[in-house]
Amino acid sequence: MTATGHAIIGTVIAAKVGNPALAVPLAIVSHVAADLFPHWDEGTNGKKSKERIIVEAVFDVLIGFAISYLIIFVLFPKTNLSYAFLIILISQSLDWLTAPYYFWGLKPFKIFYKFQKMFDNRMPAPWGIINQIAILALIVILAKIF
Ligand SMILES: [Zn+2]
């Protein structure tokens, strides 16, 4: 999923699960679950240059933080911001750990790339984006209701 997708899921976990002993493992597992869902991300279209993917990924990360902040501000204002930020980073962590190999070929990080390849379920745009927005909106709405 996009960094934004993982951030939104991390935000919901932080808002709903106050106990880090539960939220941290949940955030890690959520990354795998989110990537199993058919989705588009910056690397889905294989024709882009590495530089372009990096630029898009940086925007993705920043947009993810901004949307997460908005979700907390509007829907879950009691959530501690530092706690939410931590859970967001943990939700994204597999991608942070994959990036050094994916972008710069740093071998020690290849294991994370290989691990993610096992469950990463790609779907091209536009459906891989529409799909993602729909499931994320549903998760946020359900988290607000229950
Ligand atoms: Zn991933």
For ligand 1, the distance from its centroid to the CA atom of residue 115, given in whole angstroms, is: 10
> Hey, which residues does 15 pair with through a beta bridge?
none
Please report, for the chain, the start and end positions of each structural domain, with discontinuous segments joined by +. Answer: 3-145
3-state helix, strand, coil split of the chain in percent (to 5) is 75, 0, 25
Distance (angstroms) between ligand 1 centre and the Cα of 44 equals: 12
What angle (nearest 5°) sits at the alpha carbon of residue 131, between those of residues 128 and 133?
Answer: 110
Q: Is the pLDDT of residue 6 over 90?
A: yes
Task: Output the CA 30–ligand 1 centroid distance in Å.
Answer: 10
Contact status, residue 110 vs residue 101, Cβ threshold 8 Å: yes
pLDDT of res. 53: 95
Q: How far does the centroid of ligand 1 lie from the alpha carbon of residue 31, in Å?
A: 6
Could you report the per-residue pLDDT of 70-124, keeping only the tens digit for each? 999 999 999 999 999 999 999 999 999 999 999 999 999 999 999 999 999 999 9
- Are 28 and 17 in contact by the 8 Å Cβ rule? The answer is no
Question: So what's the pLDDT on residue 38?
Answer: 95
pLDDT tens-place string over residues 109-141? 999 999 999 999 999 999 999 999 999 999 999
